[in-house]
Copies of this chain bind each other. A is one copy, B any other.
Amino acid sequence: MPGSKRNQLEEKGWNVGDAGDFLGLSKEEEALIELKLALSREVAATRKASGMTQAEVASQIGSSQSRVAKMEGGDPAVSFDLLLKTLLKLGVDKKAIGKKIAAA
């Protein structure tokens, strides 16, 4: 992983490996982050395609605008549970979610 990408992730708050590990993420850590970011992008893309604001999505899923912003921004303190719950409520079906994950 290039240092530039690493820095982008660390700036976002991702805990990239143990302290002192300057050589990169383990394969699984990297895959987990990629998966989460893929779902984040899917939330943003789905919302924009439907013409809704973050506040409207928040109301639809029973959450708040700030949390939707964190979801879309790839905040590490957002769970897969919340991302999946959100996508399903926005009408994205399991098949589409699975494809995104497989391709991430």
Q: Is A102 an interface residue (CB 8 A)?
A: yes
Q: Note all chain B residues with C-beta closer than 8 A to A28.
A: 85, 88-89
Complex CA gap A34/B95 in Å reads 12
Chain A facing B: main interface SS:
helix
User: What is the copy number of this chain in the assembly?
Assistant: 2
Q: How far is the CB of A53 from chain B (nearest CB, A)?
A: 21
Q: How far is the CB of A86 from chain B (nearest CB, A)?
A: 10
Residue contact B80 to A84, C-beta cutoff 8 Å:
yes
Complex CA gap A32/B97 in Å reads 11
Q: Is A35 an interface residue (CB 8 A)?
A: yes
Q: Is A81 an interface residue (CB 8 A)?
A: yes
Residue contact A104 to B99, C-beta cutoff 8 Å:
no
Complex CA gap A85/B79 in Å reads 12
Q: Using a CB–CB distance below 8 Å, which chain A residues touch chain B?
A: 27-28, 31-32, 34-35, 79-81, 84-85, 88-89, 93-104
